[in-house]
Amino acid sequence: MSTKPRKEEDFALKERPKTKRPRKYMVLLHNDDYTTMEFVVWVLVDLFNKSQTEAMHLMLQVHSKGVGVAGVFTRDVAESKANEVSEAAREHGHPLMCTVEPEPDSSSSDSE
């Protein structure tokens, strides 16, 4: 029994569908007139693992532009982070608003 190596042409190769990466979601912090800058920095350091410098920079962006991206995650993680922020703000008596929005999709306009 001879076993000759087969050529690639002898096989019908099936194209595998390309796997799409899961859509990412931005966790946004919104400026208000009551939440302290120190609390926003604490949230960014403690809940988003930002360095003190990153947190200060982002807090100033939220303060000056009205909104800032605390992080970009999968949907479940983003929603969990937003809930953590809301709970911490409520516990500390701050009205800090945190929302989740889909990251802009440049490749296509698929909706979920």
Residue at 20 is within a domain: no
Q: Does 8 fall in a domain?
A: no
Residue 16 Cα distances to 13, 19, 21, 94, 106, angstroms? 9, 9, 15, 50, 23
pLDDT-derived band at 4 (thresholds 50, 70, 90) equals low
Number of domains in the chain: 1
For β-strands 24-30 and 67-74, DSSP reports them as: antiparallel
Supply the range of the domain harboring residue 42: 33-102
pLDDT confidence of residue 2: 57
95 band by pLDDT with thresholds 50, 70 and 90: very high
Task: Find the radius of gyration of the CA atoms of the chain.
Answer: 23
Assigned domain for 43 exists: yes
Q: Say what the pLDDT of residue 14 is.
A: 73
* Alpha-carbon gap, residue 43 to 86, rounded angstroms: 10
The mean predicted confidence, pLDDT, of the chain is 88
5, pLDDT greater than 50? yes
Question: Is 18 inside any structural domain?
Answer: no
pLDDT score of 67 more than 50: yes
Residue 72, in any domain of the structure:
yes
Chain segment 6-57, per-residue pLDDT in tens: 666 666 667 878 888 889 999 999 999 999 999 999 999 999 999 999 999 9
What CATH number did the domain enclosing 97 receive?
Answer: 3.30.1390.10
Strand partners, 69: 28
Note the pTM of the prediction, 2 decimals.
Answer: 0.77
User: What's the pLDDT at 22?
Assistant: 85
